[in-house]
Amino acid sequence: MRVRRNISIITLSCFVALLAVTSCSSKEKKQADPDIASVEAPDLISKPNVNFITWNEDYITALNNEIPRFEKDTGIKVTWKLLSEDIVREKVLIDLASHAGEFDLVLTDVWILPEQVEADYLEPLNKFENEDPAFKRDLWYPQFLKALTYKERLYALPTESFGAALVYRKDLFEKYGIGTPTTIDELEAAAKRLIIDTDKDGKIDIYGAVSRGKAGEEPTIVVSGFAWAYGGTWFEGGAATAKEIKEKQAKPSFNSPEFLAGFKKYCDILRMYGPPGIKDYTWYELVQDGKMGSAAIILNAGFNVGALDKTSIGMRDKYYAALPVKGPKAHTQEAFVMGYGINKNSRNKKSAWEFLKFITGKRFMSHVMKDHATSIAVRAHRESDAYRKMHPYMTGEGKFVLEENLNLIDWNYMPHLPEYSVIANLLGTATSEVIAGKKQPKEALDQLNVAVYKLLKQAGYYTDLKEKTLDNKPEVK
């Protein structure tokens, strides 16, 4: 299953779109989208219906095959379209911000959930759960449901969900006598050795390591996991929620020695051992490099291995997956849960709940799994013989990597707060600039620390008006 950019974060372009929408005069009438059916249409409100859009083409076969069955079994009409990610993001954000309620189900995830809940975009699911005796929480891994819970309320059911896993060219490791890395130092040493000119034409054919590097939110989910491995956190004392940050008056700690060490290590590995365009890498380039076999190591991207497991790709005998490497303090992280929630302004919430259970449920996900998807949240599927046969990666102790890595997830490696997406964009951009050689690591993190402090102070997190900024210079008034 190919995971799009870290969809837990609203991109800056969407943030601008949000501002544009909310600044419009309330007298302006929202124009109907000619490409998407509106729930306001009389023929739709006369019978149960659900309207949603998605960009996940990995689900296309399951959607085409299973939605007609769902409609027949429930009498609920499903109107849906598959569009590009950028278009889906923009349309859904506009719908949520304007409270139009056009789309009944909307995508959310572990990282942007606080932002969406605080904006009153999502309907809590606890009421539906309590009134539905057929609903069983134990269908999904509990850590994924926990990730989609905010202030003790469940807001979504999980779809694509994963923990970190190191993907590497096992054939090259064996050829050059390199053991499977278990530490960051071992990983770096392997990446250094595996920059290879295979045909001796003077051009590099295989690079030591690849990961996300594009400016914006893209690298944040991984570089934060490297910093975590060194004991680094976004805020002092590891404050992981808005409430903790306010109560402890925890200041940003991006330029702490611990965070700097992990941040620098991540950037150094990609800058020294990655391909020339690594500063612009997203999830997509990782998958493409894997399909071509041009990456000796793909950092922490356990979701990628599903694309490489298909026999048609021809990489099944070359790549392998292992547990994420450890730093001085902890395992590196790249953890994510995406799910669908119900639009707070939906006019079809009961129908939306039925469809939500269907699209995240056992039958539907069995069809998704058949396409070699790795990011399966349904426990029975992920631990099934069929899944294990498709992704047979084992630890040295005989455990399945793509199950065991879920036990290593620590959701506090990044904080859960409404300002997450803005900060993630700043951190990801700083990462890209360092990889590109535009800034030194300490310089980039000093600037980031100041920017985040000012952002949260303006948002009312810090009460001491005499506080200095964290570059040891007086705050500019």
Which one has a higher pLDDT value, 407 or 25?
A: 407
Rounded to 5, what percent of the chain is helix, strand, coil? Answer: 45, 15, 40
Interval 260-271 mean pLDDT: 98
Write out the two tokens for 199.
Answer: 């045909």
Does the structure show a pLDDT above 50 at 48? Answer: yes
pLDDT > 70 in the chain, percent: 87
SS3 439: coil
Q: Are 235 and 250 in contact (CB under 8 A)?
A: yes
Q: Is the dihedral of CA 236, 239, 243, 248 positive or negative?
A: negative
Interatomic CA distance for residues 423 and 25, integer angstroms: 29
- The listed CATH number (3.50.50.60, 3.40.190.10, 3.40.50.10710, 1.20.1050.10) that belongs to domain 166-334: 3.40.190.10
How do residues 352-365 score in pLDDT, each as one tens digit? 999 999 999 999 99
Task: Give 384's DSSP letter.
Answer: S
The CA R_g of the chain, rounded to the nearest whole Å, is 23
CA-CA-CA-CA dihedral for 129, 81, 92, 157, to nearest 10: 20
**Based on the number of CB atoms within 10 Å of its own CB, is 396 exposed (0-12), middle (13-18) or buried (19 or more)?**
exposed
In Å, how far are 66, 157, 307, 383, 408 from 366, measured between CA atoms? 11, 16, 17, 12, 25
| Count, residues in the chain | 477
Interatomic CA distance for residues 382 and 115, integer angstroms: 30
Same-fold call for 12-163+336-382 versus 166-334: yes
Q: What are the helix and strand counts (H, E) for the chain?
A: 21, 11
How do residues 155-174 score in pLDDT, each as one tens digit? 999 999 999 999 999 999 99
Which one has a higher pLDDT value, 45 or 173?
A: 173
CB neighbour list of residue 19: distance below 8 Å, 6 or more residues apart? none
How do residues 439-464 score in pLDDT, each as one tens digit? 999 999 999 999 999 999 999 999 97
- The reported pLDDT for the residue numbered 303 is 76
- The reported pLDDT for the residue numbered 32 is 34
Residue tagged 């944040």 (tokens): 220
User: Which H or E element spans position 426?
Assistant: helix 420-435
Does the structure show a pLDDT above 80 at 474? Answer: no
CB neighbour list of residue 397: distance below 8 Å, 6 or more residues apart? none
SS3 79: strand
Q: Are 337 and 161 in contact (CB under 8 A)?
A: yes
Write out the two tokens for 143.
Answer: 């850590």
Q: What distance, in Å, lies between the first and last C-alpha atoms of the chain?
A: 49
- The reported pLDDT for the residue numbered 65 is 92
- The reported pLDDT for the residue numbered 307 is 83
- The reported pLDDT for the residue numbered 97 is 94
Q: Are 117 and 343 in contact (CB under 8 A)?
A: no
- The reported pLDDT for the residue numbered 316 is 87
- CB count in 10 Å sphere of residue 133: 6
Domain spans in the chain, listed from the N-terminal domain onward: 12-163+336-382, 166-334
- The reported pLDDT for the residue numbered 4 is 39
- The reported pLDDT for the residue numbered 470 is 53
How do residues 105-119 score in pLDDT, each as one tens digit? 999 999 999 999 999
Task: Give 349's DSSP letter.
Answer: H
* pLDDT confidence bin for 466, thresholds 50/70/90: low
- What pTM does this model have? 0.87
How do residues 295-343 score in pLDDT, each as one tens digit? 999 998 777 788 888 888 989 899 999 999 999 999 999 999 999 999 9
Q: What are residue 7's phi and psi, to 5 degrees?
A: -75, 5
Of 196, 174, 195, 178, nearest to 187 by C-alpha is 178
- The reported pLDDT for the residue numbered 58 is 77
Does the structure show a pLDDT above 80 at 12? Answer: no
* pLDDT confidence bin for 84, thresholds 50/70/90: confident
How do residues 421-434 score in pLDDT, each as one tens digit? 999 999 999 999 99
Does the structure show a pLDDT above 70 at 9? Answer: no
Interatomic CA distance for residues 279 and 277, integer angstroms: 6
3-state per-residue secondary structure call for 206-275: EECCECCCCCCCCCHHHHHHHHHHCCCCCEHHHCCEHHHHHHHCCCECCCCHHHHHHHHHHHHHHHHHCC
CB neighbour list of residue 466: distance below 8 Å, 6 or more residues apart? none
Interatomic CA distance for residues 59 and 155, integer angstroms: 22
Interatomic CA distance for residues 435 and 441, integer angstroms: 9
Of 407, 415, 8, nearest to 233 by C-alpha is 415
Interval 19-23 mean pLDDT: 36
Q: Are 355 and 159 in contact (CB under 8 A)?
A: no
SS3 166: strand
* pLDDT confidence bin for 47, thresholds 50/70/90: low
CATH fold of the domain at 12-163+336-382: D-Maltodextrin-Binding Protein; domain 2 (3.40.190)
Mean residue pLDDT across the chain: 88
How do residues 119-134 score in pLDDT, each as one tens digit? 999 999 999 999 999 9
Does the structure show a pLDDT above 90 at 39? Answer: no
